[in-house]
Amino acid sequence: MQEEAKTYAKNISGVKIIMNSLHLGKSKFNLTEIVHDLKTPITSIMGFAELLKKGNQSEESKQEFYSIIFSESQRLLSLVNDILDISEKNFLAVPQKCNINIQINKYAKVLKPLADSKNIEIIIQSENNDIYVSIPENKMSRILTNIIENAIKYNRESGKVYIDLLERNGKVFIKIKDTGIGIAENELGKIFEKHYRSETSKTLKIEGSGLGLSIAKDITEEYGGTIEVSSKIGESTEFIISFPVANITK
């Protein structure tokens, strides 16, 4: 356990060192987007570390928390490597695939402490556990964490987040629906704009940079996908993300 703890500390220190040495002028990312992307794994690490600090978990739970902290530490470094990779074309030239079902379950678990803080239940349903799309796992993680995190933050106490995974006509559909405050019809066309924050989020003083949905949309479209949203004030908001299903040669 002590060795794992040292590894976590080294990973976090490494992130700080690399961030301090970044030449942002060479990257397509701006500082605000970098901070936004790093915030979710850092928050997750802090949340699970806090749970471990309380010291009332079973050994099985402790092992699970250690594993998540380690995984999120690795994701931090992966994000930094993305930022340092100034040759985006070369990066995209190598096709990468990920199992959508695994990614959904992984990041639902990562965001569980945030959901638990509002007594929100995350319900996942999948028709097929073996669906792949042509997108790197770290890119998919940014899409899922941004959308699922919003579904929790803008939900009501003791609400629910439904995540459904469907495959239809060569496409995979990820439906993420909450039971929250909803989005006004006149704001739906603006929510993917950078730094846009709805009037409801300002009124309720929900923290956010207004970048998450913009980042999710940009990445989705970059890898040939689409993202749509529908909402009913006071009832729910649903995001539908779709990608072509990737062919897997076994």
Judging by DSSP bridges, how do beta strands 132-133 and 171-178 pair with one another? unpaired
**pLDDT score recorded for residue 114:** 87
User: How far apart are the C-alpha atoms of 19 and 82, rounded to whole Å?
Assistant: 12
User: How far apart are the C-alpha atoms of 93 and 153, rounded to whole Å?
Assistant: 36
Answer for the pair 239, 229: CB distance below 8 angstroms, yes or no: yes
What sign does the CA torsion over 110, 115, 116, 121 have?
Answer: negative
User: How far apart are the C-alpha atoms of 217 and 241, rounded to whole Å?
Assistant: 9
User: Is-above-0.85 flag for pTM?
Assistant: no
Shared-domain flag, residues 111 and 234 = yes
Q: Of 90, 117, 151, at which residue does a domain stop? A: 90
Shared-domain flag, residues 81 and 104 = no
Domain that holds residue 65: 2-90
Helix/strand/coil for 223: coil
Shared-domain flag, residues 22 and 127 = no
Per-residue pLDDT tens listing for the chain (250 residues): 444 444 444 444 444 444 444 444 444 445 566 666 777 778 788 888 888 888 888 888 888 888 888 777 877 766 665 555 433 444 444 568 899 999 999 989 888 888 998 999 999 999 888 899 999 988 898 899 889 989 998 999 999 999 999 999 999 999 999 999 898 888 888 888 876 666 655 455 565 556 778 888 989 999 999 999 999 999 999 999 999 999 876 5
CA distances 30 to 37, 73, 140, Å, are 11, 22, 20
**CATH number of the domain enclosing 48:** 1.10.287.130
Q: What is the DSSP letter of 186?
A: G
Shared-domain flag, residues 62 and 171 = no
**Residue 236 Cα to chain centre, angstroms:** 20
**pLDDT score recorded for residue 120:** 96
Shared-domain flag, residues 185 and 237 = yes
**pLDDT score recorded for residue 174:** 97
Answer for the pair 166, 226: CB distance below 8 angstroms, yes or no: no
| Count: domains in the chain | 2
Helix/strand/coil for 172: strand
What ranges make up the beta strands (E) of 104-225?
A: 121-126, 132-133, 160-168, 171-178
Answer for the pair 100, 174: CB distance below 8 angstroms, yes or no: yes
CA angle 189, 191, 196 (to 5 degrees): 125
Shared-domain flag, residues 121 and 207 = yes
The amino acid at residue 18 is I
Shared-domain flag, residues 132 and 239 = yes
**pLDDT score recorded for residue 8:** 46
Q: Of 51, 74, 90, at which residue does a domain stop? A: 90
The amino acid at residue 106 is K
Shared-domain flag, residues 134 and 74 = no
- For residue 53, being part of any structural domain is answered with yes
Condensed to tens digits (0 to 9), the pLDDT of residues 29-68 reads: 455 666 667 777 787 888 888 888 888 888 888 888 888 8
**pLDDT score recorded for residue 22:** 44
